[in-house]
Structure 1
Amino acid sequence: MASTSVSRIVPASPEHVWRLIGGFDSLPDWLPFIPSSTLEDGGRMRRLSDAEGQTIVERLISFDEEQRFYSYSIVEAPFPVTDYLSTLRVYAVTGDDAVSEVQWSGRFTPRDVPDADVVALFTGIYSDGLEALRKALG
């Protein structure tokens, strides 16, 4: 099993950030490479389309409004992984109510590719995504 984690300080309060990213269907609101998301299965699944028209289906595993995080697994995607579990989380920054730390992490089992290649893939996705979030908030 491999894993990666990326975090960024963003220019908004934790409450504001969570209002933007905390909905399981909210990726198109802040992530330009995911232009569409459709909830299924009573809101527990999301069907995403990426900018190239590929489909990614993810299942909500856990959600905590108070602690501002959710975790999800991949059900179907063009990625060379199995057993994928990811968490998106918003933290308060002690002493500064006007900024937050956002962490996007994942663990997964690479399938037919070196661990380092898949770690680099998801590190890039998380980094690009959090940079897009920072720009959306800035």
Structure 2
Amino acid sequence: MASASASLELPVPPEEVWRLIGGFGTLHDWHPVISGSEVSEGGRVRRLTTSGGDVIVERLEAFDEAGRSYSYSFIESPFPVSKYRATLRVREADDGRGSRVDWSGEFLPDGVTDEEAVELFQGIYNGGLKAIADIFTPKGS
């Protein structure tokens, strides 16, 4: 299995960040590559549309409101991987001031090298975290 991960620290409370990113059907509200999201099966499946027109269908595998995390897997995706499972988590920052967002995933590359698959998901995670940082960073900072 290959893996990728990204983290971000923000000077805002974890609860505030979780309000933005904690909904399984709200990825399109903050990730710049996701233009649409439809949920089904009682909120356990999301169908994402990318700005390029690709479709990604994901299943919610675990959700922990109190722990501010959820894990999901691919049902259908355009990506060259299988057995994909990822977790998005918001917790208190290590220094006790603000929050830390962690996004990580494991997968089996399919037709690409481990390095190529890791680079792909690293870019997706970093792009999402940058967008979150931009939302919570005052303009002109």
What is the match of residue 20 of structure 1? 20
- CA–CA distance in structure 1, aligned partners of residues 12 and 28 of structure 2: 19
- CA–CA distance in structure 2, aligned partners of residues 112 and 94 of structure 1: 38
- CA–CA distance in structure 1, aligned partners of residues 36 and 11 of structure 2: 25
What is the match of residue 70 of structure 2? 70
Following TM superposition, by how much is the alpha carbon of 1:95 offset from its aligned partner in structure 2, in angstroms? 4.5
- CA–CA distance in structure 2, aligned partners of residues 93 and 52 of structure 1: 34
Aligned residues: 137
Correspondence 1:89 to 2:89: yes
Matches within 5 A, 1:33-48: 33-48=33-48
Following TM superposition, by how much is the alpha carbon of 1:96 offset from its aligned partner in structure 2, in angstroms? 4.1
Correspondence 1:102 to 2:101: yes
Letter in 1 for 2:110: R
Q: Could you list the runs of 5+ residues in structure 1 that have no partner in the other structure?
A: none
What is the match of residue 130 of structure 2? 131
Letter in 2 for 1:117: E
- CA–CA distance in structure 2, aligned partners of residues 94 and 73 of structure 1: 28
- CA–CA distance in structure 1, aligned partners of residues 33 and 12 of structure 2: 22
Letter in 2 for 1:112: G
CA contact (8 A) 1:39 1:45 kept: yes
- CA–CA distance in structure 2, aligned partners of residues 10 and 79 of structure 1: 30
Runs of 4+ in 1 over 6 A off after TM superposition: none
- CA–CA distance in structure 2, aligned partners of residues 120 and 106 of structure 1: 12
| Same amino acid, percent of matched pairs | 51
TM-score by length of 2: 0.93
Q: Could you list the runs of 5+ residues in structure 2 that have no partner in the other structure?
A: none
CA contact (8 A) 2:32 2:127 kept: no
Letter in 1 for 2:77: A
CA contact (8 A) 1:11 1:134 kept: no
Q: Per-residue CA shift, 1:58-100, capped at 9, x if unaligned?
A: 0000000011000000110100000000000001024444x21
Following TM superposition, by how much is the alpha carbon of 1:11 offset from its aligned partner in structure 2, in angstroms? 3.1
What is the match of residue 79 of structure 1? 79
Q: Give me the CA root mean square deviation.
A: 1.0
- CA–CA distance in structure 2, aligned partners of residues 121 and 82 of structure 1: 14
